[in-house]
Amino acid sequence: PSTSLEAPTSYITAPDRDTHEFFLRKIFELILRENIFDGIQREEKVCKFKLPKDLKETLDFEVGQSPVNNHQELVDLMEKICSLSVKTGHPYFVNQLFSGLDPYGLAGEFVASSLNSSVYTYEVSPIFTMMELEIFEKMRNIIGFPAGRGDGVMCPGGSIANGYAISVARYKKRPSIKAKGLSGGKTLVMFTSEDAHYSSQKLASFEGLGMDNCIGVKVDSRGKMIPEELEKQIEKCIAEDKEPFLVVATSGSTVLGAFDPLEPIAEICSKYKMWFHVDAAWGGGALMSQKHKNLMKGIDRADSVTWNPHKLLCAPQQCSVFLCKDDNVLTDCHATHATYLFQKDKFYDSDRYDTGDKYIQCGRRADILKFWFMWKAKGIQGFEQHIDHIFRLKEFAVKQIKNRESAFQLVLPEPECTNVSFWYVPRSMRHLDTESIEFRDGIHKIAPKIKERMMKTGSMMVTYQPLRNTPNFFRIVFQSSVLTEQDIIYFFDKIEELGED
Ligand code: ABU
């Protein structure tokens, strides 16, 4: 193989050992150095933030008629891309409901990319089809569906998984919709908590129900749906001659990490003959822990569940699963029997193993491999250790905040999941009455200012938001088990340092 980074002599779309092996090795070396090992050490920056105009000056984004001059230029470009990108595998990236870099997950991701499959037929993706069947069954068992029966699909994100819930629930309520569409019949209405992920509203709109027909049910002081309010809203909808068909409960809300009370919600769904979906995109990973799975007591009564292993379980993006109890509804609801993919006269049991017709996508990445490989590598024991560790960190963080009570105030005194939300109160505001307008207006501006400083120094990344009528507050997400108690002390020290004036 060559050891040069000269320009290739032609651009056929196949790797040529002489031309590409050295080039690809250089890229892999870069990935290992910059994104996986040296570049995400604690002393390195999480991000080297630049505003768009400065970024344009640093990296040549323009693509054109002619190729670059040689492979060295491409390696240099990749080097800049890695260096200027946010390092979400860095321990101090606690900004989102994903972070960390699981080595087994990464290996699965790399291998899946190099096999470049599309998981719609067994003939194209035999291994990945079998892995999906295995993993879905195990996940259904963990949820507690009877004998692990049912069906499942991998989705490009939790929003789409929640969209599947709307689609199948609607089909179950009114099967004619598949062929005839929504016109005619009563208005279909779904319910979710006012703190639920925005995907329910978005997908209600996307699937033609309309956002106004996705009702946000009131939550209590801990951010949990109030079942009595749900029932009131359902009754109201019936009184208006509308047809309630779906409740989406949340297990781990996006901001507060709240777990809706699943058992009373299941009762209500069965009383009104409604589909019961649990959006456990965020909290689902806790089902792997004997200690924490009780947060989702009653999830076995759901008709369907969204569960994103790329969140609490730290699989690489994206890894989202929609699971349902009914083994046929996905196919009944979505299949169109395209004869160029799903021929009925194949030499194997294509009805069972050509899984693509039940999906709304056609081409689909083999997201299953990374999760299957992680599960093989560490077993449920490994996932459980990870979950228990990050929940312990959450407890430690809550104690830290309570110990620094003049500088920090918790939004929830006892957060249920591993998102910890709090206000930082700068010294100059500590004498103010926390109920006063002056305090609320002032505190609202603090988190954005500190966030700006954080981004500009690249020292850490933690997000902030208002919620309902609260002023802006920080939300730290404990999701990566590389984090230690020392890191948590660093986060709070750093916020104090950045917010000193
Ligand atoms: N899919 C929800 C992600 C939002 C967040 O990370 O805050």
Q: Report how far ligand 1's centroid is from the alpha carbon of 96 (Å).
A: 6
The side-by-side arrangement of strands in the sheet containing 419-424 is 408-410, 419-424, 473-477, 463-465
Q: Are 409 and 434 in contact (CB under 8 A)?
A: yes
**What share of the chain has pLDDT > 90, as a percent?**
95
Say if ligand 1 is within 6 A of residue 158 CB.
yes
Question: What integer pLDDT is reported at residue 11 of this predicted model?
Answer: 83
Nearest CA to ligand 1 atom 7: 96
Residue 1 has pLDDT above 70, yes or no: no
pLDDT at 14 exceeding the cut of 90: no
Residue with tokens 């009702």: 215
Among 97, 155, 255, 308, which residue has the most ligand 1 atoms within 8 Å of its CB, making it the best to mutate? 97
313-326 pLDDT per residue, tens = 999 999 999 999 99
pLDDT, average across residues 249-275: 98
Q: What atom in ligand 1 is closest to the CA of residue 475?
A: 7
**Average model confidence (pLDDT) across the chain:** 96
Question: For residue 406, what are the CA distances in angstroms to 403, 415, 424, 434?
Answer: 9, 19, 9, 12
DSSP string for 155-197? ESSHHHHHHHHHHHHHHHH-TTHHHH-S-SSPPEEEEEETTS-
- In the chain the domains, ranked by start, together with CATH numbers, are 1-83 (no CATH), 117-375 (3.40.640.10), 378-498 (3.90.1150.170)
457 lines ligand 1 (CB under 6 A): no
Q: What is the pLDDT of residues 63-75, one digit of tens each?
A: 999 999 999 999 9
How many CB atoms are closer than 10 A to CB 222? 16
C-alpha 367/C-alpha 301 separation (Å) is: 27
pLDDT band of 10, cuts 50, 70, 90: confident
Q: So what's the pLDDT on residue 273?
A: 98
Name the band, by pLDDT with cuts 50, 70 and 90, for residue 3.
confident
How many whole angstroms from 95 Cα to the centroid of ligand 1?
A: 9
Is the pLDDT assigned to residue 144 strictly greater than 80? Answer: yes
Q: Would the CB of 99 count as within 6 Å of ligand 1? A: no
Is pLDDT of 15 > 80? yes
What's the average model confidence in pLDDT over 415-421? 98
- Compute φ and ψ for 314, nearest 5 degrees: 70, 20
Specify the pLDDT at position 84. 97
169 lines ligand 1 (CB under 6 A): no
β-pairing, 419-424 with 473-477? Answer: antiparallel
Q: How confident is the model at residue 391 (pLDDT cuts 50, 70, 90)?
A: very high
Q: How far is Cα 422 from Cα 452, in angstroms, rounded to an integer?
A: 17
Residues paired with 304 in a beta bridge: 277, 324
What's the pLDDT at 12? 81
Q: What is the pLDDT of residues 28-62, one digit of tens each?
A: 999 999 999 999 999 999 999 999 999 999 999 99
* pLDDT bracket for residue 19 (50, 70, 90): confident
pLDDT at 21: 93
What is the spatial distance between Cα 409 and Cα 421, in angstroms, rounded to a whole number? 9
Give pLDDT tens digits for 205-239. Answer: 999 999 999 999 999 999 999 999 999 999 999 99
Q: How far is the CA of 158 from the centre of ligand 1 (A)?
A: 10
Using an 8 Å Cβ cutoff, are 325 and 141 in contact? Answer: no
Nearby residues of 364 by Cβ (< 8 Å), 6 or more positions away: 118, 119, 120, 154, 356
Average pLDDT over residues 383-402: 98
The fraction of the chain above a pLDDT of 70, given in percent, is 100
Q: Is 97 in the pocket of ligand 1 (CB under 6 A)?
A: yes
Overall average pLDDT of the 138-157 stretch: 98
Q: Write out pLDDT tens, residues 425-472.
A: 999 999 999 999 999 999 999 999 999 999 999 999 999 999 999 999
Q: 13 falls in which pLDDT band (50, 70, 90)?
A: confident
The residue among 10 and 302 whose pLDDT is bigger is 302
